């Protein structure tokens, strides 16, 4: 059924893809949290990953409500199993950064689509995600830089784990 009151289908489909991406992000960071939780001395990092997973779920929920409130239907997606184990904390944070870069690219594509479709409400809604991605990329980059410096230094890792709780706020 097509009528002019219905939500633009291209936009609805793209937002549903973003819902999948946020859900997959939440799942990926949940797995990082579970992995970190069984490593010695990573209490702070564990809390960071679990909190980050919760934030991604919140990003997903915001999208779900937006799609439904605009007259679309938000589809709860099937998820694939994320990476469960990591050879090092550095590897986990590299994956986190790469993941965030992919999310940013996807948000940017959505912004472009919203403009092309003259959907200014969606364009405006997406600005929050644009800012959020800037923050998340920055934090992920900083973590990677610190871990690069720390290498295998145990006391460095201790401080990293202690400080990341504050950095995640």
The residue ranges that bind ligand FEO (CB under 6 A) are 22, 25, 56, 59, 100, 103, 136
Query: Residue 22 or 161: which CB sits closer to ligand FEO?
Result: 22
String of DSSP letters for 3-72: -TTSPPHHHHHHHHHHHHHHHHHHHHHHHHHHHHHTSTT-HHHHHHHHHHHHHHHHHHHHHHHHHHHTT-
Q: Alpha-carbon distance 124 to 21, whole Å?
A: 20
- Minimum separation from the CB atom of position 23 to ligand FEO (A): 10
Which is closer to ligand FEO, CB of 95 or CB of 136? 136
Radius of gyration of the chain from Cα atoms?
18
Least Å distance, CB 81 to ligand FEO, is 19
- Closest approach of Cβ 111 to ligand FEO, in Å? 14
Smallest separation (angstroms) from ligand FEO to the CB of 22:
5
In whole angstroms, what is the distance from residue 25 CA to residue 80 CA? 11
Pick the closer one to ligand FEO by CB: 100 or 161.
100
- Residue least distant from ligand FEO (Cβ): 59
């Amino acid at each position: 059924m097509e009528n002019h009151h219905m939500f633009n289908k291209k936009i609805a489909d793209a937002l549903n893809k973003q819902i999948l991406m946020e859900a997959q992000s939440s799942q990926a960071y949940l797995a990082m949290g579970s992995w970190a939780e069984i490593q010695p001395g990573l209490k702070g990092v564990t809390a960071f990953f679990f909190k980050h997973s919760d934030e991604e779920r919140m990003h997903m929920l915001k999208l779900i409500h937006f799609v439904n409130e605009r007259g679309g239907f938000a589809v709860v997606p099937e998820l694939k199993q994320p990476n469960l184990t990591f050879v090092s904390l550095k590897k986990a944070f590299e994956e986190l950064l790469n993941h965030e870069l992919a999310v940013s690219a996807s948000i940017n594509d959505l912004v472009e689509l919203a403009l092309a479709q003259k959907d200014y409400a969606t364009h405006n809604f997406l600005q929050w995600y644009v800012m959020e991605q800037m923050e998340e990329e920055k934090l992920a980059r900083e973590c990677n830089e610190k871990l690069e410096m720390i290498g295998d230094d145990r006391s460095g890792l201790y401080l990293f784990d202690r400080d990341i709780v504050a950095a995640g706020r």
